[in-house]
Structure 1
Amino acid sequence: MSKRILVEASGSPVSAYMIKAIQDAGHTAIASDISPDCAASVFADEFVLFPRKDDPCLWEKVEQSLVDNRIDLVVPSFDEMLLGWSQRRETLASKGVRVLISAVSTVEVFQDKWLTAQFFEKHHLPCAKSSLEPDYPLVKPRHGRGSMGVYIEHSAERRAKQFGEGDISQSILTGEEYTVDCLFSHDGQPVYIVPRKRLGVVNGKSMGGVVEYNENIDRLITQLAKATHFVGPVNVQCFVEGSKVSLVEVNPRIAGGMALGFAATENWVPLFIRIINEELLSSVPIQWGMKMYRTYQEFFTI
């Protein structure tokens, strides 16, 4: 049966692949954003205007919009909304709206870089050294996404002056950066672990990539999954240096670069629905070596 699936924050240029994947799977793609002036409002099947994240009635408006537009499934992608989606998962399910996201406890940990670092250390997962003081040269906000607010300052004196209340400092990891597209079943079992090396980054977003098998990454992600409970798509950042893999951060959501993960395996949209229904999942062989190059496409309307 065809589902009405909401694509969150569709104004982002990287949302196009998700809309197409929904349509290719025979479902209805409902784009959403805070402004109708975006390409997704043209090529999605329908468009829903969402309130801004600082709206005092944000979730009341979102919930009403989901019901009014008969949304069957939401696959969250916007960091600032992840915790709210997770907290309302059961409430929304009672209204016929399913949300594919990990539990509140999981989202809370991995949306806070300090809690993430503590989690890694507690479970003996290799990672950078971290501190709530300006002890290390890499500084980043505890809560934030991409490269926003991240800087490197080797001078301890200058770093101490710049260091903010909401920052953490970390040691600098060396090696090659990988992004790992993961899909987990309803009971937290890995269905796909697809490492990809970035071929280009603009404003923190991948403009291309290549899928590469790495036994050590596969083993580490499996170890990570045993330490917590992921559900649905999850994006993991790590550095690889020889046989050593160090975790950087975990994003418990779908990500823009996952288009390559889809292409190297299969359309994940039907799997999303099966996860929500708590069905058993199987996987197909991963096409190692597949490359992706991204360009933006123009749409015109009157």
Structure 2
Amino acid sequence: MEALLREGRLPSASVTAVLFTCAGQRVDIVTAFGRAGATTIASDVDRLAPALYHADRKALVPRVDDPGYVAALAALVAEHDVRLVVPLTDLDQEILSEHRSELAPALVLAPAPEICRTMGDKYLAHAFFVERGIDSPRTWLPGDVPADARYPLLVKVREGFGSRHIYRADDEEQLAFFLRYTTVDSMVQELCLGEEFSIDVFCDLDGRCLNAIPRTMIQSKGGESIKGMSIRDAELVEHGARVAEAIGIVGPANVQCFREPDGALPVTDVNPRFGGGFPLPLAAGSRYPELALALARGERPEPRLGDYRAGVVMTRFFSDLCLVGDGVLRPVEAKDA
């Protein structure tokens, strides 16, 4: 078995039940785990969440801020003999990390609560990066912007996702305007001048980076990658692995950085979950679902940094799912026509 793991080939094993929380539209992730051999259970508060209908089992649960949320998930773990819990958004990641003992014996695929909390606050994340020697753009709280700040500057929400509440200020007048205009707790950050990259990483339970796959950001929409390409770039692979291990990532994460004209690689964001561009590293050979299942089985796969296919291009599109049913919805079948 050790030889297989060193080669990056994971041995077959009994089916592992996986619970996906806040499943939403992440059909890509749920179905990828199914193809990897898992029994998939998708949960969401919204009965129209598409991912529910692409899983082997589905469950409606309370909102993440409901006192009974964790108990509802624990009941699903017991009912389906779940061995792996995968949060798919930032909404409940810290909650599940804090309550992982209540979801045992399932493994919660998330880093420590304080890491989830810090990465969720972009200003705290910036301070964290600087403290650990990770390059990051100069960033300030609104009242601390120095006179020598280099414009353009970005007014960015501290906590949020989907590139909401981000405004570009080209001078002091615009900065003052957007700081008055924004309705959310914000920070100010220097605009990076180079090319942006995303690095999809996966770490084991000890925080070792097992792989890091860099990709270009050809086009993004609403903060999510729409078009991109996996690239062979040893510097970005090493950078992604170093950042992930310095932070203490467990499981998946997406590292967003720029390559500046002077060669620096400032990190602007780290999301400790599967990224929106998940289909691209999957197609490039990441085998991240298989690695996650191996961790749930108690195995310890060896790192295989750089083991992926470069030149894989992703271009995404809208899809749809039509449902019928009296009370209980199900996908439309030919017999319904």
TM-score in terms of structure 1 length = 0.90
State the SS of the aligned residue for 1:248. strand
Asked if 2 retains the 8 angstrom alpha-carbon contact of 1:274 and 1:281, the reply is no
Could you tell me which runs of 5 or more consecutive residues in structure 2 were left unpaired when the two chains were aligned: 1-13, 325-337
Asked if 2 retains the 8 angstrom alpha-carbon contact of 1:132 and 1:168, the reply is yes
Aligned partners of 1:165, 1:37: CA distance in 2, in Å? 29
Matched, 1:111 2:127: no
Asked if 1 retains the 8 angstrom alpha-carbon contact of 2:211 and 2:241, the reply is no
Residues 218-237 of structure 1: matches in 2 within 5 Å? 218-237=237-256
Asked if 2 retains the 8 angstrom alpha-carbon contact of 1:235 and 1:254, the reply is yes
Change in 2 beyond 3 A, CA 1:71/1:37: same
Matched, 1:280 2:301: yes
Letter in 1 for 2:280: L
Percent of matched pairs sharing the same residue: 28
Letter in 1 for 2:91: E
Corresponding position of 1:89: 100
- Residue by residue over 1:62-112, the C-alpha shift from the partner in whole angstroms, topping out at 9 and shown as x without a partner, is 33343334322111121021111111123322xx22211111232222111
Corresponding position of 1:241: 260
Higher mean displacement: 282-291 or 202-211: 282-291
Aligned partners of 1:200, 1:156: CA distance in 2, in Å? 26
Aligned partners of 1:20, 1:57: CA distance in 2, in Å? 28
Residues 198-213 of structure 1: matches in 2 within 5 Å? 198-213=217-232
Displacement of 1:198 in angstroms is 2.0
Asked if 2 retains the 8 angstrom alpha-carbon contact of 1:179 and 1:236, the reply is yes
Corresponding position of 2:20: 7
Corresponding position of 1:80: 91
Asked if 2 retains the 8 angstrom alpha-carbon contact of 1:179 and 1:197, the reply is yes
Change in 2 beyond 3 A, CA 1:106/1:41: closer
Which residue among 156, 164, 171 is the counterpart of 2:190?
171
Displacement of 1:285 in angstroms is 2.6
Aligned partners of 1:83, 1:35: CA distance in 2, in Å? 21
Displacement of 1:124 in angstroms is 2.2
Asked if 1 retains the 8 angstrom alpha-carbon contact of 2:213 and 2:286, the reply is no
Displacement of 1:160 in angstroms is 4.2
Corresponding position of 2:137: 128
Asked if 2 retains the 8 angstrom alpha-carbon contact of 1:216 and 1:245, the reply is no
Could you tell me which runs of 5 or more consecutive residues in structure 1 were left unpaired when the two chains were aligned: none
Asked if 2 retains the 8 angstrom alpha-carbon contact of 1:211 and 1:288, the reply is yes
Aligned partners of 1:167, 1:282: CA distance in 2, in Å? 38
Asked if 2 retains the 8 angstrom alpha-carbon contact of 1:75 and 1:254, the reply is no
Residues 127-146 of structure 1: matches in 2 within 5 Å? 127-134=136-143, 135=145, 137-146=153-162
Change in 2 beyond 3 A, CA 1:91/1:215: same
Displacement of 1:226 in angstroms is 4.2
Letter in 2 for 1:196: R
Aligned partners of 1:129, 1:285: CA distance in 2, in Å? 33
Corresponding position of 1:42: 53
Asked if 2 retains the 8 angstrom alpha-carbon contact of 1:183 and 1:191, the reply is yes
Letter in 2 for 1:259: P
Aligned partners of 1:282, 1:214: CA distance in 2, in Å? 17
Displacement of 1:265 in angstroms is 1.6
Aligned partners of 1:238, 1:293: CA distance in 2, in Å? 21
Matched, 1:254 2:274: yes
Aligned partners of 1:130, 1:181: CA distance in 2, in Å? 24
Letter in 2 for 1:148: R
The structure with more radius of gyration:
2
Change in 2 beyond 3 A, CA 1:158/1:188: same
Which residue among 317, 321, 324 is the counterpart of 1:295?
317
Alignment RMSD (CA, Å): 2.1
Asked if 2 retains the 8 angstrom alpha-carbon contact of 1:67 and 1:97, the reply is no
Aligned partners of 1:160, 1:18: CA distance in 2, in Å? 37
Aligned partners of 1:160, 1:99: CA distance in 2, in Å? 38
Asked if 2 retains the 8 angstrom alpha-carbon contact of 1:33 and 1:49, the reply is yes
Corresponding position of 1:184: 203
